[in-house]
């Protein structure tokens, strides 16, 4: 039994690596093609670097499909060759025989979580610097430091991309390389092609004085489109960064439903890797199938799961479902279904 367990585990890992890396590399190449216009002057090394940087994110996306296909192929191949029948006739237990696959699925779930929280966000941020517009100095939990169109340095203490507004804005003005003034505003919104600052304090350092204004309009600061491109997306932030950013928005009275859904999805998505293994083992033992049948079933189940899960997330983004329900309902439902099938395997 130990020899068979090692054999099946090796076959499972080989199939998983081929599918996961193959699909991820293909998607990475498609991404590279889309970004080619922004990278064409950087040379071959930069093109390869970009493809490598976006690869971890696509590995996270494709892992459930790869896990499902690998488990279906491994167990299905054993069933088609009547190996499982021979093992059962000799008194072997099917759940125990394929338990190493389930354990590996759990480990892959942890690996997916680690990739999505640490490796992929850092790599995506580096990829963004290669293709995005320059100008950002610092971004952390909604705080942005950026060079404005007029040469001043601007700090948006808390910027909301969805609302196009900011809480507490500081503008540092320079003249001849020296700090000449500062503008402090409690809030700012972009209206009719200009930024409207509220509750403003003007400081003139050249002629020391301070002036308070209820409102101030600035037309040559920063366009929201450019500012939005500098804000990190959910894929470019780890779960702790997402949580702190979402918390700061809530404390400021701003609710970002999309951010809440993405944060829950980041936690829910990896767990399906484990239950894909349970599902594949249970289905394959019910009916033997060859490699082609395993590939077809794997593609069909993965596509169906992805479509339903994407639809659920879209309901969350639109506010029709609470963020937790939108991100967790489908994975938990699939988990219960898969676990039930695995428990019912005849030994």
Q: What is the pLDDT of residues 255-273, one digit of tens each?
A: 788 889 999 999 999 999 9
For residue 232, give the DSSP letter: -
What whole-number percentage of the chain has pLDDT above 90? 48
pLDDT one-digit tens code per residue, 290-341: 556 766 777 788 889 999 999 999 999 999 999 999 999 999 999 999 999 8
Adjacency order of strands within the sheet including 153-160: 136-140, 143-147, 153-160, 165-175, 178-191, 194-204, 209-218
Q: Please indicate, yes or no, whether the overall pTM of this predicted structure exceeds 0.85.
A: no
Q: What are the φ/ψ torsions at residue 230 (nearest 5 degrees)?
A: -90, -15
* pLDDT class of 160 with cuts at 50, 70, 90: confident
What is the distance between the alpha carbons of residues 223 and 246, in angstroms, rounded to a whole number?
23
Domain 143-230 grouped into CATH 2.30.30: yes
Residue spans of the domains in the chain: they are 2-133+253-343, 143-230
Whether 143 and 156 have beta carbons less than 8 Å apart is answered as: yes
Residue 283, Cβ density class (10 Å: 0-12 exposed, 13-18 middle, ≥19 buried)? buried
Predicted confidence at residue 139, as pLDDT, reads 79
pLDDT at 69 over 80: yes
Task: Give the range with max mean pLDDT: 71-75, 253-257, 274-278.
Answer: 274-278
Select the more confidently predicted residue: 194 or 14. 14
* pLDDT class of 209 with cuts at 50, 70, 90: confident
Of 1-10, 129-138, 229-238, give the lowest mean pLDDT range. 129-138
Select the more confidently predicted residue: 205 or 309. 309
Select the more confidently predicted residue: 254 or 347. 254
Predicted confidence at residue 133, as pLDDT, reads 60
What is the distance between the alpha carbons of residues 32 and 81, in angstroms, rounded to a whole number?
42
State the chain's mean pLDDT as an integer: 87
Predicted confidence at residue 347, as pLDDT, reads 64
Predicted confidence at residue 329, as pLDDT, reads 97
pLDDT at 65 over 60: yes
* pLDDT class of 228 with cuts at 50, 70, 90: confident
């Amino acid at each position: 039994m130990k020899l068979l367990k090692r054999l099946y585990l090796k076959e499972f890992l080989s199939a998983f690596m081929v599918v996961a890396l193959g699909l991820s590399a293909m998607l990475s190449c498609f991404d590279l093609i889309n970004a080619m216009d922004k990278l064409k002057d950087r040379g071959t090394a930069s093109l390869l670097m970009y493809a490598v940087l976006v690869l971890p994110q696509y590995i996270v996306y494709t892992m459930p499909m790869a896990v499902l296909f690998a488990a279906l192929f491994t167990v299905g191949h054993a069933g088609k060759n009547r190996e499982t029948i021979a093992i059962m006739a000799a008194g072997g237990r099917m759940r125990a025989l394929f338990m190493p696959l389930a354990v590996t699925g759990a480990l892959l779930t942890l690996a997916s979580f680690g990739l999505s929280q640490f490796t992929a966000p850092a790599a995506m941020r580096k990829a963004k610097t290669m293709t995005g517009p320059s100008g950002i100095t610092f971004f952390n939990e909604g705080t942005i430091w950026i060079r404005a169109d007029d040469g001043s340095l601007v700090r948006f203490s808390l910027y909301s991309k969805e609302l196009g507004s900011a809480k507490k804005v500081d503008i540092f003005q320079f003249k001849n390389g020296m700090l000449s003034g500062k503008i402090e505003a409690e809030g700012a919104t972009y209206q009719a092609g200009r930024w409207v600052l509220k509750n403003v304090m003007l400081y003139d350092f050249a002629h020391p004085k301070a002036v308070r204004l209820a409102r101030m309009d600035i037309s040559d600061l920063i366009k929201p489109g450019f500012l939005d491109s500098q804000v990190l997306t959910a894929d470019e932030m780890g779960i702790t960064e997402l949580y702190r950013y979402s918390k700061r928005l809530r404390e400021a009275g701003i609710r970002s439903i999309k951010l809440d859904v993405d944060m829950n999805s980041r936690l829910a998505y990896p767990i399906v890797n484990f239950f894909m293994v349970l599902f594949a083992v249970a289905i394959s033992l019910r009916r033997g199938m060859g490699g082609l049948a395993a590939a077809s079933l794997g593609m069909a189940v993965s596509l169906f799961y992805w479509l339903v899960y994407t639809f659920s997330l879209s309901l969350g983004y639109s506010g029709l479902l609470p963020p937790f329900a939108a991100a967790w309902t489908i994975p938990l439902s699939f988990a219960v279904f898969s676990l039930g099938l695995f428990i019912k395997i005849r030994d």
